[in-house]
Chains A and B, each alone.
Chain A
Amino acid sequence: SQQGEEDPQALSIQEGENATMNCSYKTSINNLQWYRQNSGRGLVHLILIRSNEREKHSGRLRVTLDTSKKSSSLLITASRAADTASYFCATGINDYKLSFGAGTTVTVRA
């Protein structure tokens, strides 16, 4: 079973707009990570947020974490065509294993 669940499953936005996706998880975590996957290829690490952090930024990415609600959000600002990809949240399980959600597919229209 998967620990995290992303919402929405799919998102279509215009270039320049912001994209927001959410992740909910079931059990306590040490950290939560977001990954991007282009066209069924390898995953690229975007950002890691630890359980004692509430917000983290990296370039056009902003991640929030609410441990009381067991949820996280990823915001991509000023989207570009190159942001078209699937985005996955992943939580650390048993210290070594990452548990991924089913992902949000983002399409950025020119």
Chain B
Amino acid sequence: EADIYQTPRYLVIGTGKKITLECSQTMGHDKMYWYQQDPGMELHLIHYSYGVNSTEKGDLSSESTVSRIRTEHFPLTLESARPSHTSQYLCASSASTGVGFDTQYFGPGTRLTVL
């Protein structure tokens, strides 16, 4: 079973606040990802990292930023939250297998509501 954790699970916050969503994994995976899931269930990749000090933007443009200072930790930050940021945020990780595909393991998600 995958060991990937996200905190908080639920967050309600006012417009303009700075927030950080935490994601940690204990599996030693080198790759980590952030997805945004809209109310219609669709998943959009917003950030990913292939290792420490490596971060890339995903398919969906996002005002959030990420950092990867430690292998196990991949926090996502919103400098100034807005109602349009209301969504579910899912973190995932995978290990390089060298066989052409990596299986991603997902955390439970953070449901963010910005008022």
The finding on whether chains A and B are genuine partners in a shared complex, rather than unrelated, reads no
